Amino acid sequence: MFRRVATAGLVLVACSNPAHAQKQTIGAPPEASNMRLVGTSDLQARSAYQPTIHHQGDRWIAYIGHHGGTDDVPAPVNPMTGQAEPNGTSILDVTDPAHPKYLRHLPGQPGKYEAGGAQMVRICDGKSLPKADPNAVYMLRTFGGEAHEIWNVADPANPVLVTRLGGLKDTHKSWWECDTGMAYLVSGAPDWRTRRMTQVYDLSDPAHPQKIRDFGLPGQEPGSTGALPTELHGPISTGPAGNRVYFGYGTNKGGILQIVDREKLLNGPKEPTPDNLRFPEISRLPMSAFNGAHTTFPMLDMPIAEFAEDRDGKTRDIVMIVDEAILNECTEPRQMVWFADVTTEARPMMISSWTVAEASGKFCQRGGRFGAHSSNESMAPVYYKKIAFIAFFNAGVRALDIRDPYHPREIGYFIPSITEATDKRCIPIEGGERCKVAIQTNNVETDDRGYVYIVDRANTGLHILELTGPARAAAGLPRN
């Protein structure tokens, strides 16, 4: 009897004081503050990269890109087909977020980890693209590292291939303007000196892609010599209205935020000479050699409450920069979140940073990566310029109040429980390696309803969350 009470007491302590948990165990509850689990999908135990949520007719569809398979399971079995399929894209109906319905697994490039799969995915409606089939819904995805593909997913359970742009290497996190069709495809062109650069395409008619130009930093172009500037990770465009493209270079090293004039990029001289590559650039913000720029998320014209009485500078143009941690168990400098004030575009300045406090969960001891990876990229009003969600690997997802970007503040978090499917993460030690199992929240996205979707790199699947309590109030959402 005493033993049972004591055990119950220990569980109670563990649940009420989750910040001090060091090692995750199967069956233990998730760790959470002001965030609540709504629904889950195991995603067939596939390592997940990027979720994109699309309001499609009267349904909400989640498209989730996957990395390649693992050494242990190179091609997991799809229970819907009974076949072993190389990781690609999971397509789920999340109209009822408490009961996600798995519709289809679309296989990707065979290969393990970064060498296979179909990590990236973006969606545009045909009716919004200038020259597309208005009845179609288009999914742009990478195919491993070797190609970009466009599928018609009007029937998300039965995608139809429309276009493939192949012969590439290291394709990655692209951006697609759904109102113009302009796409900034992250690729490795065979003749460029860098693994990843930008290939600008007009995809307003997805069936007939039109190449606009290649773009990168001077020194990356074919025929150049000398030091190679940091490779691209991904861009985000504000479209013709904002006329800016924010390029992020680097993952965990030598990051650069590059601010580019979109009009000059699209219509300026296109031959990849150093002068032509410099022509559309407005400015750069070089970061420390310790940090990269995985995500560069623009939040322009933000009113800053603290500056409300100032005659000038009441609103600021902000870019949130998220680094990517890539090494397990804190064997690299901390990768975190940075906020840059780019109001004076020629002189962007870093104004603040934010990280999960390591001691709050002893995250360096838990296993796997600890540090930032990515933010939500939805610009839907529900959260835009108010709340940002940051995927922080073994620290789960973190909700930040960014209304004052000079002083970002955490208002909630959720660290999912591990499952039997959660894969191990190892580090070399003398004479071998040591492995631990921990959640690895890789990416996060939100939908217009306010649901938060996080996916796991270590095969734990999809978790659909919602804000609760003060965090929900901060977003202006009705009480739940």
Partner 1 sequence: MRLGAAIAVAAIMLGASGVGAWQLAPPPADEAVHWREIAWPFPRDGWPAGRAFRCDGACAGAELYVRAKRGFCNCDRGVADDDEVDRVADIDLINPRFAAAAPGEAMGLGDMRGRARRYDLDMPDGARRAAIGVAVSRRCDLLVAAAQGRGEAGAMQRAALAFLQTQAMNQWIVAALDGR
Q: Which residues bind partner 1 (CB under 8 A)?
A: 111-115, 170, 193-195, 225-228, 231, 252-254, 289-290, 326-327, 331-333, 427-430
Q: Whole-number minimum distance, CB 115 to partner 1, in Å?
A: 4
Taking the least distance from each CB to partner 1, the nearer of 282 and 327 is: 327
Q: Whole-number minimum distance, CB 67 to partner 1, in Å?
A: 11
C-alpha separations of 40 from 36, 51, 275, 296, 419 in Å: 12, 13, 50, 28, 12
First to last CA, the chain: 38
Find the farthest-apart pair of alpha carbons in the chain and give their distance in angstroms, rounded: 80
Q: Whole-number minimum distance, CB 331 to partner 1, in Å?
A: 5
Does residue 441 contact residue 397 with C-beta atoms inside 8 Å?
yes
SS3 (DSSP) at 125: strand
Does residue 417 contact residue 29 with C-beta atoms inside 8 Å?
yes
Phi, psi of 9 (to 5 degrees): -65, -40
- DSSP letter at 262 equals H
Q: What is the Rg, in whole angstroms, of the alpha carbon atoms belonging to the chain?
A: 22
Phi, psi of 183 (to 5 degrees): -125, 135
Taking the least distance from each CB to partner 1, the nearer of 170 and 466 is: 170
- DSSP letter at 347 equals S
Closest by CA position to 247, among listed 342, 125, 147: 342
Q: Whole-number minimum distance, CB 253 to partner 1, in Å?
A: 4
Taking the least distance from each CB to partner 1, the nearer of 97 and 371 is: 371
Structure tokens, 96 = 């009822």
Taking the least distance from each CB to partner 1, the nearer of 214 and 341 is: 214
Q: Whole-number minimum distance, CB 373 to partner 1, in Å?
A: 14
Structure tokens, 14 = 């563990």
Q: Whole-number minimum distance, CB 360 to partner 1, in Å?
A: 24
Q: Whole-number minimum distance, CB 326 to partner 1, in Å?
A: 5
Does residue 119 contact residue 65 with C-beta atoms inside 8 Å?
yes
